[in-house]
Amino acid sequence: MTVLTAAPATGLHGHVRVPGDKSISHRALMLGALAKGTTTITNFLSSADCLSTLEALRALGVPITYTEQQVTVHGGGRLKPAHVALNMNNAGTATRLLMGLLAAQPFTSCLVGDASLSKRPMRRVSQPLAAMGAAIDLDAGHLPAVITGRPLKAIDYTLPVASAQVKSAILLAGLQAAGTTIVREALPTRDHTERMLKAFGVRLTVSADRQTIALPGGQPLIATPVAVPGDMSSAAFFIAAATIVPNSHIRLPQVGINPTRTGFLQIVRRMGGNIKVTPLESAGEPLADLEVTDTKLQPIDLAAADIPAVIDELPLVALLAAHANGVSHIHGAEELRVKETDRIQTIVSELRKLGVAIEAYADGFVIDGRKTSPITDAHVDSHGDHRIAMMLAVAALVADAPLELHDAAAMTVSYPDFLTDLERLCKGDLR
Ligand code: S3P
């Protein structure tokens, strides 16, 4: 049990360089493995999820040198059979993307995961891959997945759910397929795979409305250095903290501001939040320095079209809504039900303990920020979900009593040093 305490009256001050982006770190390893030549990755996210990808690729015969400063992938385009099951632990992105990558490799692989990952739906990936010619066996739609790679044919596929993981799995398979693979999405999801494929020398086209991607198969990847930007989804916890803790002013240098990931910035601004974005020069993904000052918040209404660009930050939107002067409605977020936990359920159960007036919808929640009452139960629980754990640590800063957080260790999945960095901002150590 980790004890979380309130922020000092002087608020949060100083700066934190948030760790590298999780989505981009996974992709850099995988594209590096497929590429000819040596890929160096800087600011790689050394968290449990990304290390699961790294170990899986090593087991598939890819030589990878790892230090906290730099990861070097000695690619070659050919993977070798792993003679053990690949343990993906909690990493959903890694699992789904690897399924796409392995679907064309001429051997059988087995992917397993922890209890949470083993409950998450995998048919959304196995079905389109099977239509391309891969043989994938699941256990009633879940891990373990036994993947036998086959020669693949291209597919023209319309995503039934807004999911960058599914899109990316199909693109990784399409890259190794005969013909041009087309993926259509109604709502744009994060496009790191498309951008990184281009950086590795692959030709693909994205339509002007950003809804259709066409990828001719059989193209070689050429190794290229990848500088991973700071993770917007990690920065979001500090943005939320500095917004709701009075007398705060913080800086977050070098955060990725890919437009498919900045939904949270826009939402906080729509709620009245005070965030200054100073764009920086960068060769790859767009980058900026962020500066955040505390403010009083208004409520917000979100619908399906708002969701993909803020999908991982919705626990924080709930927390901000609990501090807003009115009723917020979040709809169109049913994908939260199949994340690391059923996040609608875990957000509602944990915030209620903190006195928040919150009700679940099938596809979201409603929160009346004017009706927040004192804590009813100081024992909160991450339920093993890294983003719920960190949201609760931020909630503790404005709680009227210390909180005891069960399973704080879940944070290691995406941000192992989160509590240390939060504490530094509370102490104003890095002014
Ligand atoms: C991710 C995509 C999102 C997101 C996840 C990372 C990715 O999942 O929630 O944390 O790196 O592609 P979905 O695409 O399944 O919504």
Q: Where are the domains of the chain?
A: 2-20+232-427, 22-217
Show the tokens assigned to 79: 């993977």
Query: 142-180, pLDDT tens digit by residue?
Result: 999 999 999 999 999 999 999 999 999 999 999 999 999
CA of 27 to the centre of ligand 1 (A): 12
Beta carbons of 11 and 249 less than 8 angstroms apart = yes
**pLDDT at residue 76, rounded to an integer:** 85
93 lines ligand 1 (CB under 6 A): yes
Model confidence at 430, pLDDT cuts 50, 70, 90, reads: low
User: Of 155, 165, 164, which is closest to residue 214 (Cα–Cα)?
Assistant: 155
**pLDDT at residue 68, rounded to an integer:** 86
d(CA 356, CA 349): 10
Fold of the domain spanning 22-217? UDP-n-acetylglucosamine1-carboxyvinyl-transferase; Chain (3.65.10)
Residue with CA at minimum distance from ligand 1 atom 5:
93
CA of 164 to the centre of ligand 1 (A): 6
Binding site annotation covers 118? no
Between the alpha carbon of residue 19 and those of residues 28, 320, 411, the distances in Å are 15, 23, 13
Q: Please confirm, yes or no, whether 312 is among the known catalytic residues.
A: yes
Share of the chain above pLDDT 90, in %: 97
Beta carbons of 32 and 75 less than 8 angstroms apart = yes
Residues paired with residue 38 on neighbouring β-strands, in sequence order:
74
Same CATH fold assignment for domains 2-20+232-427 and 22-217 = yes
Q: Residue 405 is which amino acid?
A: L
291: enclosing H helix or E strand? strand 287-293
Identify the CATH class of 2-20+232-427.
Answer: alpha beta
**pLDDT at residue 77, rounded to an integer:** 66
Does the pTM exceed 0.95? yes
